[in-house]
Amino acid sequence: MGESQRKFIRLKAVQELVSLGKTRIYEMASNGNFPKPCKLGPPLKNPDGIDSRINFWIKDEIVNWLDARVLERDNAKET
């Protein structure tokens, strides 16, 4: 993969990209079948800081996961 800027996205954006629900996304991530979320900071101590309880995903990882699904489909057609 070439150099790119990482963009962090929230669950709602992930759901819109992959057309899966919250529960399914977390189940698949837990099973290693979907990119895992990350937190951007330590536990919240400063009310003006990032709320570290919120999960974020790296958009490139989600796009790569989608691309892999398309490749699986295309390869299945060829066999």
Cα(64)–Cα(4) distance, rounded to whole angstroms?
13
Predicted TM-score of the model (pTM): 0.79
User: What six digits make up the tokens of 65?
Assistant: 């996961």
- Mind listing the pLDDT tens digit for each residue in 55-68? 999 999 999 999 99
- Mind listing the pLDDT tens digit for each residue in 20-49? 999 999 999 999 999 999 987 766 666 666
How far is the CA of 62 from the CAs of 8, 39, 45, 47, 79, in angstroms?
A: 10, 16, 30, 30, 26
- pLDDT of 54 > 80? The answer is yes
Give residue limits of the domains in the chain. 8-78
Selection from 17, 37, 40 nearest residue 26 by Cα: 37
* φ and ψ of 35, to 5 deg: -55, 140
